[in-house]
Chain A
């Protein structure tokens, strides 16, 4: 029964493929996978926009959207109609072709990244031998899309925003990939499916997820910080800083092109969260043995929603960084820790299982973390905060 429920989507797809003649089957199979990914993640995008506005409203002590439908849950439909019916304004000085292509390239690259994520048991659109590399490769294409948007608008603010975005994406790509390298090294595979399968099973009552090891936890935290920067989310949303460069590289976009940028950013966030789940949180694996009754895809999307909630929470809580703080943080703090984490992973791999392994690896991470943080804070002249009138 549980088995059937788990594989219901896979069975449905096989049944649909079986209904067409032989040589059409690969094409139909690809089409079904693509349609499923497009529908599910576009729907998730719609839900997330409401959740985000509601959540931010709650954090900021206001209601958030509550006019359209019960509790405002039909807000995305109203938003979609609004962006569709708006005039598409293109500045007269803009480079029309590149201006038109930029949002398309961004959205296509973002959706492509989703195709290698295992969304459930046997539920992956394409199982590449080097799936993780594919993920990062299409992520690199979004940088070019951001540049195209910023440059083609012929607007100094948008060009500044694009420059900021590219500098930030290139800088944070390094710790992002390096923290993923630790997992790839430990599992010994670049395939997303094999990485998830390597995290199956339980040691005692703990699942064998990578996040539940010292190096995995450090890698997960580094990965999520870099992921927030890669997807231009607060507190790393300098490229769109409203107060300085009035929304950055998509300032000259209106109507549905603006909505496409919005979609691309959220899809990028889902994709990178999905990769974090795949690498560190056990993919579609259930946390406890008796919970395996719940279908595996539900576990994946549950974890995805939890990570989205963390992103919204962080956005409502933290102020935006300054450009120099951003760069210092990436190169002086995250990069050394990510490199160290790779070394610690090697130590973990070759030590005997048991508590000494835990102790040594945890000490190897926490020690440098504290020392590096203290040294950098001293370098910046950051001491205890003093309040003029508050004390």
Chain B
């Protein structure tokens, strides 16, 4: 319980920092911290594989990608505009509305009614067997999608032949 409290606090603080900080690179690093917090949350729930994959993919690839994007677009200088612009109040209302609707949906759904007993920890072997039998089609489709995305990226990045 204490561990969960610490993790939740770190995640909340870093999420707010990611939105509120003036320097985009600091924001990206805060997002990285939030990703790490989410991984810690997964670990506390006994989902070891998901937790480590979270760190590997989000901290090792997505955070780096964000940072690279910031640097390449020259956004690493701190911004001078005020944090709260007039338009952001409307955004706040919309966000609040979405949050209320989502919370209502989650609270009224059946999946929260599961008795909070200790679920059996899923081993990597079980995950692998499920992926290779029951979820083989989604896995293959995802693989195809990612391959297509990869080829597309290579084609975009490929140097076009010089027009003679």
Measured CB to CB, the residues of A under 8 A from B are: 95, 98, 128-130, 133-134, 136-141, 143-144, 147-148, 151, 159, 163, 166, 170, 173, 188-190
Contacts and interface: CB of A to CB of B under 8 A. Distances in A.
23 contacts: A98-B25, A98-B29, A128-B48, A130-B48, A130-B49, A133-B53, A133-B56, A134-B52, A137-B55, A137-B56, A140-B59, A140-B60, A140-B61, A141-B60, A143-B60, A143-B64, A144-B60, A151-B67, A151-B71, A170-B61, A173-B60, A189-B124, A190-B124
B44 interface: no
Given A98-B25, A128-B48, A130-B49, 15 more contacts: A95-B26, A130-B48, A133-B49, A133-B52, A137-B39, A137-B53, A137-B55, A140-B56, A141-B55, A143-B64, A144-B29, A147-B67, A148-B29, A151-B71, A189-B125
A147 B52 contact: no
B125 to A, nearest CB: 8
B15 interface: no
B33 to A, nearest CB: 10
A166 B48 contact: no
Contact of A129 (B36, B48, B67, B68): B48
A229 to B, nearest CB: 16
Contacts of B61: 140, 170
Contact-residue bracket for chain B? 20 to 34
B123 A129 contact: yes
A166 B67 CA distance: 11
Contacts of A143: 60, 64
Interface in B11-42: 23, 25-26, 29, 32, 36, 39
A137 B60 contact: yes
- Among B49, B53, B64, which residue has the most Cβ atoms of chain A within 10 A? B64
A314 B76 CA distance: 38
Given A98-B29, A130-B48, A190-B124, A138 B64 contact: no
A147 B67 CA distance: 9
A151 B76 contact: yes
B10 interface: no
Contact of B59 (A129, A144, A166): A144
A86 B134 CA distance: 61
Given A129-B123, A133-B52, A148-B29, A141 B64 contact: no
